[in-house]
Structure 1
């Protein structure tokens, strides 16, 4: 549960307890939170989490009869495959590309 800007240690401790061993969390009425080994890692997780949420909302507009449910085990298999690929995408491709884009838009952003 989001309680405002995390300035008191008790709230931070609750957030840490809530996220547990996971990499991402959706805070009710606030947004998303990701953790990782680098800014790149966190940003890419955040990006894909938010895109997944958008896709889910768009899919729900099709109504209950318009949704496809994959065979049992497929989501778990895909999640396992994505963990390795996401790290590679973050570190080797997406993050460097985003930094190059920022350099073009505003070369002073690093200052």
Structure 2
């Protein structure tokens, strides 16, 4: 029988899958912003996928995305009052209102600051 030593956490502390997640985004006033969805009960949740294929299967090929670690996604959404993160949702409902056409699927790359002079 295995023995648990004092101070050892029997539950995993990481709430996200290892590795980067593929997070759907939408155009915002400055750049892109993380999309927030609703659960079947109406609660707000951030959504992330463990692969581009899963993202495309759920949201379609036109969905723009970025790669983020789970803790970074939570850090972006918690100030908005969104504390839940749903990973690899199997079903999404269509948007209630039409969304603007999205550019072809591609990762969003951070802008590089160039200093002249």
TM-score (normalizing by structure 1): 0.22
Higher relative contact order (Cα pairs below 8 Å, separated by 6+ residues) = 2
From the two aligned structures, give the one with the greater strand fraction. 2
For normalisation by structure 2, the TM-score amounts to 0.22
Higher helix share: 1
